[in-house]
Chains A and B, each alone.
Chain A
Amino acid sequence: MRKIFLAASASVAAVALLASCTSGGANGSGDDVADASLSAEISYGFWDASQQPAMEQIVADFNEEYPNIKITSQVTPYTNYFTKLQTQGSSDTLPDVFWINGPNFQLYASNDLLAPVTDAIDPADYPEALNDLYTFDGEQYAVPKDFDTVAVFYNKAIFDKAGVEYPTEGWTWDEFHTKAKAISDALAAEGIFGTASGLSGGQEMYYNTILQAGGYVISEDGVTSGYDDPKSIAGLQFIADLIADGSSPSLSGLSDTTPDQWFVNGKSGMFWTGTWSNAQLLASPIVDSIGLAPLPKGEREATVIHGLANAVASGSKELAAAQAFQNYLGSEEAALTQAEMGAANPAFNESQDDFIASAPWDLQVFLDEADNFSFPYPASLNTAEWNKVENDLLPDAFSGRRPVEDVAAEIADKMNAILAGEQ
Chain B
Amino acid sequence: MTSVERPKRAGVAAPLATPAPPGRSPRKHSRWSGGELGWAAFFVLPLFTGVVVFYLWPIVRNAYLSFTTFGAFSDAKFTGVKNYVELSADPMLWRSMLNTFIYVGFLLLGIPIALVVASLLNRPGLKFSKVYRTAFFLPYVAMPAAISMVWRVIFNGNFGVFNYLLSLIGIRGPNWLSTEWVALMAVGLVGIWIALGFNLIILSAGITGIPPEMYEASALDGATGLRQFFAITLPLLSPSIFFVSVMTVITGFQLFDLLYALMGTSNPQINNTQSLVYLFFAHFQAGDKGYAAAVGVIIMILVGIFTLLQFRLQKKWVTYA
The interface of chain A, by Cβ under 8 A from chain B, is 79, 82-83, 86, 89-90, 107-108, 111, 113, 191, 198-200, 249-258, 267, 382, 384-385, 388, 392, 395, 398-399
Docked Cα-Cα span, A249 to B178, in Å, equals 13
Binds A, one of B15-23, B111-119, B240-248, B284-292: B284-292
B74 adjacent to chain A (CB < 8 Å)? yes
A251 to B287, CA, bound (A): 27
Instruction: Report the nearest B residue to A83, measured CB to CB.
Output: B285
- A252→B175 contact, CB < 8 A: yes
Q: Is the CB of B73 within 8 A of A256?
A: no
Give the docked Cα–Cα distance between A89 and B263 (Å): 28
Q: Are A255 and B178 in contact (CB under 8 A)?
A: yes
Q: Between A and B, how many residue pairs show CB distances below 8 Å?
A: 81
Binding site for A on B (CB under 8 A): 71-74, 152, 155-160, 175, 177-179, 263-269, 271, 282, 284-288
**How many angstroms from the CA of A250 to the CA of B288 in the assembled complex?**
31
A203 CB, nearest partner CB in chain B, Å: 13
Check B158–A395 contact: CB distance below 8 A.
Answer: no
Q: Cβ of B74: which chain A residues have Cβ within 8 Å of it?
A: 111
Contact (Cβ within 8 A) B157 A252: yes
**B175: chain A residues within 8 A (beta carbon):** 250, 252-253, 255-256
What's the least CB distance linking B145 to chain A, in Å?
A: 11
Q: List 6 A-B contacts (CB under 8 A).
A: A89-B73, A108-B73, A111-B73, A198-B266, A255-B269, A256-B175
A384 partner, pick from B156, B179, B266, B286, beta carbons under 8 A: B286
Contact assessment for A385 and B158 in the assembled complex, using a CB-CB cutoff below 8 Å? no
Contacts of A255 in B (CB 8 A): 175, 177-178, 263-264, 266-269
Residue of B nearest to A389 (CB): B286
When distances are taken between beta carbons in the complex, the residues of chain A under 8 Å from B267 are 255
- A249 to B72, Cβ gap below 8 A? no
**Nearest Cβ on chain A to B73's Cβ, whole angstroms:** 4
Chain B residues with CB below 8 A from A111, complex form: 72-74
Q: Which residues of B contact A89 (CB under 8 A)?
A: 72-73
Let me know if A382 and B287 touch, CB within 8 A.
Answer: yes
Q: Which one of A79, A384, A392 lies within 8 Å of B287 (CB-CB)?
A: A384
Q: Min CB distance, A352 to chain B, in Å?
A: 30
Nearest chain A residue, comparing its CB with the CB of B271 = A392
Q: Which residue of B lies closest to A198 (CB)?
A: B266
Cβ contact within 8 Å between A256 and B160: yes
A420 smallest CB distance to B (angstroms): 15
Please provide the 5 A-B residue pairs with the shortest distance between their CB atoms, ordered closest to farther.
Answer: A200-B266, A252-B175, A395-B268, A252-B178, A111-B73
In the complex, what's the smallest C-beta–C-beta distance from B113 to chain A, in angstroms? 27
Give Cα A384–Cα B286 distance, bound, in whole angstroms.
6
Measured CA separation A83–B72 after assembly (Å): 10
In chain A, what residue has the closest Cβ to B272? A395
Contact B178 A86 (CB under 8 A): no
Contact of A251 with B282 in the complex, beta carbons under 8 Å: no
What residues of A have a CB within 8 angstroms of the CB of B284 in the complex?
Answer: 83
Q: Judging by beta carbons under 8 Å apart, are B158 and A253 in contact? A: yes
Within the complex, what minimum Cβ distance (angstroms) separates A286 from chain B? Answer: 16
B271 to chain A, nearest CB (A): 6
User: Is B265 within 8 A of A86, CB to CB?
Assistant: no
Complex CA gap A79/B160 in Å reads 24
B155 and A256 form a contact (CB under 8 A): yes
The answer for the CA separation of A257 and B160 in the assembled complex, in Å, is: 10
State which of A86, A251, A392 has its C-beta within 8 Å of the C-beta of B72.
A86
CB distance from A338 to the nearest CB of B (A): 27
How many angstroms from the CA of A410 to the CA of B271 in the assembled complex? 16
Residue of A nearest to B157 (CB): A256
Closest Cβ neighbor of B282 among chain A residues:
A388
Pick the contact of A382 from B72, B159, B268 — CB < 8 Å? B72
| A residues in contact with B271, CB < 8 Å | 392
